[in-house]
Amino acid sequence: MPAPDDRYSRQTRFVPLGEAGQARIHSARVVIIGCGALGTVQAEILARAGVGHLRIVDRDFVEYSNLQRQFLFDENDARDSLPKAVAAARRLTQVNTTITIEPIVADLTAANYEDIFEDADLILDGTDNFETRFLMNDAAVEANIPWIYGAAVGSYGIKMAIDPGRTACLRCVYPEPPQGSQPTCETDGVLAPITAIIGALETADVLKCLSQGRESVDGKITTIDIWTGALRQIAAPLRDENCPCCAQRQFVYLDGSRRAPISLCGRNAVQIHERSRPVNLADLANRLRALAPVRVNDFALRLEIDGYELTVFPDGRAIIKGTTDSGVARSVYAKYIGT
């Protein structure tokens, strides 16, 4: 068996990184928001690269449709409906026992962002919606933490590094969330190569930032379409002197006023996330078994009833699959879980 010091030898032989850069990487704390197609690539690369502390935050559970592109998961994870953060941590602890993997099964919200980003040296975007990204942007600018934005759908992906105070922030580029119907992985599909490429590009910025300092990463925008072969890099956009976030320091996404009480999960489902009371899943399972078969573990409860699939989490959050109507979802929640 090779000596432990050999683990990162091929990485440290890369002169711009070197032993000193590896030491900085190993002492770093990185937060990954979202552990789906992008987040699993990010988490595996950074775990193998030796980032000392990885905090993986995801609200969702593994499904069979994830396995086409979410590399950390297998059929057992989908069968057991494991939370993605937990399944990822289990896998990564087998990859690298010298680092700390911290899974958090939760949404990123205005109520918990301070705890989630505590002591973070860098934040990675592995999410799939602008509401969460704007919250990340506000939190990163407020705390002066660099973060990497990335997104992919279909065969197209985009990546941009953000260093608060030095580069444009997300709201300099997107003052408001995109309006109207937007493509999603549910409606337009997504190819694994594009999520892997964007996730890898994001982690390249992470390794550069951690090893050489945040000023080494520029804010240019990279876009790729793997189907047409188009690859484009756009010069770093200038900071908007009137940006409500990084110029005026109005962090409207951190007070919760911009957060809708429900959100679509992009797969004919509605998430009920305004509940803030804990739920005893074992007790709930005992009550619901009289109505339908229930699957329950320490992380979630699932049942199918009246044409809907309910997934309930210990914090009271639930995903109602089978509708995109928020009123119907609330009604199903109230009927089977309570108000």
Classify 183 in phi/psi space as left (phi over 0), alpha (psi -120 to 50) or beta: beta
Element of type H or E holding 159: strand 156-162
Phi, psi of 42 (to 5 degrees): -60, -50
Smallest CA-to-CA distance from 85 within 118, 107, 110 is with 107
* Active-site position among 35, 169, 172, 185: 185
Residue located via tokens 């210990």: 314
pLDDT at 337: 83
Which range, of 115-119, 201-205, 238-242, 264-268, averages the lowest pLDDT? 264-268
* Arithmetic mean of pLDDT, 261-281: 71
Helix/strand/coil for 93: helix
Helix or strand holding residue 55 (H, E): strand 53-58
Give 333's pLDDT tier (boundaries 50, 70, 90).
Answer: confident
Q: Which tens digits make up the pLDDT trace of 310-319?
A: 998 888 888 8
Three-state DSSP class for residue 272:
strand
Query: Residue 185 catalytic?
Result: yes
Q: Identify any residues that bridge with 234 across adjacent strands, giving them in sequence order.
A: 221
What average pLDDT does the chain have?
A: 90
Beta carbons of 82 and 61 less than 8 angstroms apart: yes
- Give me the residue spans of the domains in the chain: 4-254, 262-336
Report pLDDT digits (tens) over 116-139.
999 999 999 999 888 899 999 999
Residue 84 parent element (H or E): helix 84-95
Q: CATH class for domain 4-254?
A: alpha beta
CATH topology of domain 262-336: TATA-Binding Protein (3.30.310)
Q: Give the pairing type, strands 294-296 and 269-272.
A: unpaired
**Which band of pLDDT confidence, cut at 50, 70 and 90, is reported for residue 2?**
very low
From the list 3, 82, 45, 30, the residue with the least C-alpha distance to 313 is 82
Q: Picking from 107-121, 193-207, 237-251, 318-332, which range would have the lowest pLDDT averaged per residue?
A: 318-332
Percent of the chain past pLDDT 90, that is, above it, reads: 67
What's the average model confidence in pLDDT over 287-303?
89
Point out which residues pair with 159 in neighbouring strands: 150, 222
